[in-house]
Structure formats: C-alpha cells, structure tokens
C-alpha cells in the first residue's frame, strides 16, 4: 500500500485502472479489484468528480460549500480539516489535521487505527483549546467522519458555521491536500515508521518544525506560526463579511444554550 499511496500523490487524477498499470510497471503484480479494495481501505480516490467519492454516512446531513467567492483575509476566519492514510512497516494508521486556512498553521492533529469519527472530534476540540477561540467557518469534505452527528455537534456548539466541499472537488480544500503531500514526502516516507507510537512521535516533531521553522513559499518564506500569531505584520485583517458571520455564530450559540436549558427544565419535571 505504500507504493500505491506514493503513486496517488504523484498522479492524484489517476483511478484504479491507471494506478494498477503503474504498479505492474514497477513489478507489482496486482489486479484491478485488489487496487480498488486497497484504495477503499486507505480512504483515497481520484480527485476528478465521480459518483460515491466522499461518502457521507447513511442519513447524515450534507451542508453547502460556503467559501466560494469568499475573501479570507486573516487567521481564525476559516479552519479546514481532512484525513489521510499513513503507511508504516507493519500496517497503517489514519491522520487527521485541523488547519487555519489563511496562515496554513496546523492547530491540531490526531492519529487513529480506525476511520471512526471520534478521533476527528478530538482533533477539533484540541484545535479549539490550542487557539483559545473558534473560527467563523469550518470546511471539510463530505466524508462520514465529518458528516457524523458528533462532529457536526462539536462544530456547531462552538458557534461555527459548517461548510463542505463539493463532491470530487479537491480544490475546495486544496491547502490541506498540499499539507499531506509535504508531510508524506518530508517525513512519513523517509522514516518508514514501525508502529503508531514512533509515528506519533515523529509526526509531532515534523508538525512542530512545519509550524515554527519551515519557510513556506506561499507565505513569502515566513512560517505558518508567524502568519498566524502576527497576522497584521503580514497583511492580515478582519474580513468584510466577519460581522455578519459573527452575528450568525452568536445566534447559533444562543440557540444551542436555550435548547439545552429547555431540555434541562423538561427533565426536572419528572
């Protein structure tokens, strides 16, 4: 699966058929059905639009994409989150990260050996704790982890609006897709971790270096931490649409609190 993961990063528009051909060219004899099954296990597919790309859970609500034509001009306006596959010497794990859209600063990350929503919720809550505030918008794909009631509740209870990519539109969450390419080529593939413990330690070092020391070309060779923590020095400013979204966020928090209060009062009657 390590080779398949590398090939997908090199050729993200290739589907199972072309990836199978490339594997055969590298001397890996594998039929297309096995390629399809491995891609499903890894949670990755080609980035062009097609049916059943990011599959929401059965009965899960899908939210609209809110970032189209939205000018993001500073930190904590939009956060994005995504999951990727991490190959190891013996097995694999899944990695989720929560990133600030404007600064590319990684607020939190978590490893898991399953694709359950719980580790995504932990990462979201860790990001809130690390930032000391909530963004205006949270953007993710339509995967079942991010459409799960638990994750949606964690986002909305913080007064944050939910945005989801269009199906098959990797460009809607492009900054975190670029993060995955960096972390795999600069750390995961080079270190070939033997287990989850060593992967966690190594990724912790890499994310610390990425945030605090690694020059970022798109940020004028500053670091994500510099842009996130000293936004005004790098042209950061409040968004023109921020007041409107803050009002909506405050109303959402009031609705959640009033709903909880009503439930408490109803329970006290028994």
Q: What element of type H or E holds 92?
A: strand 91-100
Same domain, 23 and 87: no
Q: What is the Cα–Cα distance from 115 to 39, expressed in whole angstroms?
A: 14
The reply to whether the predicted model has a pTM over 0.85 is no
- Number of domains composing the chain: 2
148 and 212 fall within a common domain: yes
Do the domain assignments include residue 268? no
Residue 249 inside a domain? The answer is no
177 and 82 co-located in one domain: yes
Q: What CATH number corresponds to the domain at position 123?
A: 3.30.420.10
Pairing of strands 78-88, 106-112: unpaired
- Cα–Cα–Cα angle for 126, 166, 123, rounded to 5 degrees: 10
Q: Are residues 108 and 220 in the same domain?
A: yes
Say how far apart CA 97 and CA 110 lie, in whole Å: 7
Which pLDDT score is estimated for 27?
62
If asked whether residues 88 and 173 sit together in one domain, one would say: yes
Residues 86 and 204 in one domain: yes
What's the pLDDT at 177? 84
Is 83 in the same domain as 192?
Answer: yes
Q: What is the pLDDT of residues 78-122, one digit of tens each?
A: 999 999 989 888 888 999 999 999 999 999 999 999 989 999 999
Only one residue has tokens 């966020």, namely 249
Residue 146 shares a structural domain with residue 199:
yes
In this structure, the answer to whether residues 222 and 123 fall within a common structural domain is yes
Which portions of the chain are predicted below pLDDT 70?
A: 1-59, 167-173, 249, 252-253, 256-257, 259-270
One domain, residues 10 and 96: no
Determine the structural domain holding residue 109 and report its residue range: 78-234
Whether 243 is in a domain gets the answer no
In a domain, 14, yes or no: yes
Pair 20, 91 in one domain: no
Q: What is the pLDDT of residue 151?
A: 97
Residue 51 maps to a domain: no
C-alpha 6/C-alpha 4 separation (Å) is 5
The pLDDT of residue 154 is 97
pLDDT score for 174:
77
Same domain, 115 and 227: yes
Asked if the structure places residue 205 within a domain, the reply is yes
**H runs (alpha helix) in 157-233:** 174-183, 189-191, 196-212, 224-229
Provide the pLDDT for residue 268.
Answer: 46
């Amino acid at each position: 699966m390590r080779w398949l993961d590398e090939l997908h990063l090199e050729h993200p528009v290739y589907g199972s058929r072309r990836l199978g051909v490339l594997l055969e060219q590298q001397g890996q004899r594998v039929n297309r059905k096995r390629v399809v099954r491995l891609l499903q296990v890894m949670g990755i597919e080609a980035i062009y639009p097609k049916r059943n790309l990011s599959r929401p859970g059965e009965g899960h609500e899908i939210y609209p994409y809110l970032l189209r034509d939205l000018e993001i001009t500073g930190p904590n306006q939009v956060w994005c989150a995504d999951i990727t596959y991490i190959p190891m010497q013996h097995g694999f794990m899944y990695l989720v990260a929560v990133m600030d859209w404007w600064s590319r600063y990684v607020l939190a990350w978590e490893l898991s050996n399953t694709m359950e929503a719980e580790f995504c919720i932990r990462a979201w809550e860790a990001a809130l704790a690390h930032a000391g505030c909530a963004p205006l918008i949270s953007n993710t794909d339509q995967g079942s982890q991010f459409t799960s009631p638990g994750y949606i509740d964690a986002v909305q209870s913080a007064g944050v609006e939910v945005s989801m990519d269009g199906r098959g539109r990797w460009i809607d969450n492009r900054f975190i897709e670029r993060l995955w390419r960096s972390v795999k080529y600069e750390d995961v593939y080079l270190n070939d971790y033997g287990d989850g413990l060593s992967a966690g330690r190594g990724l912790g070092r890499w994310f610390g270096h990425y945030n605090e020391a690694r020059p970022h070309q798109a940020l004028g060779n500053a670091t994500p931490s510099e842009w996130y923590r000293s936004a005004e020095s790098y042209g950061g400013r409040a968004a023109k649409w921020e007041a409107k979204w803050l009002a909506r966020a405050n109303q959402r928090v009031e609705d959640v609190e009033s709903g909880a209060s009503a439930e408490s009062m109803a329970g006290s009657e028994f």
